[in-house]
């Protein structure tokens, strides 16, 4: 019995460690995504064209991922169906999505654009419910509502440019 309990405790510790590692990696992914958005926006702000800025960021990222493809990409080439799905994923959600994201970065701040991407998992979850027939638990719907509320607050908040400067009283000097 003691060994069973020890094994259960070990599994719980491993589960907790795995969960913490997943949360940490998720946070790191968020930081790198914010850096990507900030870098692309900064390049565009310095006069680099949108296509050149986005192309350079993704080109360098693609080069960095080539070793991963070489080590793990064999299943992608194993069948025409797998290759077609991979090509679709590269062209539609990635290429088209980031071309549109780049257009957005030319019109709004990087922080606003990155915040708006919070809608992506909510839209994906709703599409999974509608298209695939998945069931979303109450907590999932509450999360979607929270994302929607956050985006609404962002949309309704006055931008720094719209806020009027405080009135400065006339200064009367006496000599």
pLDDT higher than threshold 70 for residue 75: yes
Same domain, 103 and 128: no
Give the model's pLDDT for residue 174.
Answer: 53
Residue 171 falls within a domain, yes or no? no
Average pLDDT over residues 147-174: 64
76, 109, 142 - which closes a domain: 109
Whole domain around residue 130: which residue ranges? 118-158
Same domain, 76 and 135: no
Residue 146 falls within a domain, yes or no? yes
Average pLDDT over residues 11-18: 78
> pLDDT tens digits for 111-158?
888 788 888 889 989 999 999 999 999 999 999 999 999 888 877 877
Same domain, 79 and 104: yes
Same domain, 135 and 68: no
Of the two residues 42 and 13, the one the predictor is more confident about is 42
pLDDT higher than threshold 50 for residue 70: yes
Same domain, 73 and 99: yes
- The secondary structure of 40-73, three-state, reads HHHHHHCCCCHHHHHHHHHHHHHHHHHHHHHHHC
**Domain total of the chain:** 2
Same domain, 62 and 95: yes
What whole-number percentage of the chain has pLDDT above 70?
Answer: 83
The overall average pLDDT reported for the chain is 81
Tokens 């990222």 appear where?
61
Same domain, 53 and 103: yes
Same domain, 92 and 140: no
Of the two residues 56 and 145, the one the predictor is more confident about is 145
What whole-number percentage of the chain has pLDDT above 90?
Answer: 26
Same domain, 82 and 138: no
| DSSP element (H, E) containing 140 | helix 138-156
Residue 84 falls within a domain, yes or no? yes
Same domain, 103 and 132: no
Same domain, 101 and 35: yes
List CB contacts of 39: < 8 A, sequence separation 6 or more: 57
Give the distance, in angstroms, between the CA of residue 61 and the centroid of all CA atoms in the same chain: 15
Residue 131 falls within a domain, yes or no? yes
Residue 165 falls within a domain, yes or no? no
Band (pLDDT 50/70/90 cuts) for residue 88 is very high
Task: Supply the pTM of this predicted model.
Answer: 0.59
Band (pLDDT 50/70/90 cuts) for residue 67 is very high
> pLDDT tens digits for 151-160?
888 778 776 6
Same domain, 37 and 105: yes
């Amino acid at each position: 019995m003691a060994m069973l309990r020890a094994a259960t405790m070990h599994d719980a510790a491993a589960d907790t460690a795995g969960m913490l590692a997943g949360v940490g990696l998720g946070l790191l992914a968020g930081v790198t995504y914010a850096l990507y958005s900030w870098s692309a926006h900064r390049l565009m702000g310095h006069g680099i064209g949108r296509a050149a800025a986005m192309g350079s960021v993704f080109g360098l990222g693609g080069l960095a991922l080539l070793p991963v493809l070489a080590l793990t990409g064999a299943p992608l080439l194993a069948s025409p169906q797998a290759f077609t799905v991979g090509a679709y994923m590269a062209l539609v959600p990635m290429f088209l999505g980031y071309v549109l994201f780049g257009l957005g970065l030319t019109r709004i701040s990087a922080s606003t654009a990155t915040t708006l991407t919070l809608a992506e998992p909510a839209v994906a979850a709703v599409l999974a419910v509608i298209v695939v027939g998945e069931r979303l638990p109450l907590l999932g719907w509450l999360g979607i509502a929270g994302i929607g509320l956050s985006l609404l607050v962002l949309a309704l908040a006055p931008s720094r440019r719209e806020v009027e400067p405080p009135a400065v009283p006339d200064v009367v000097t006496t000599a």
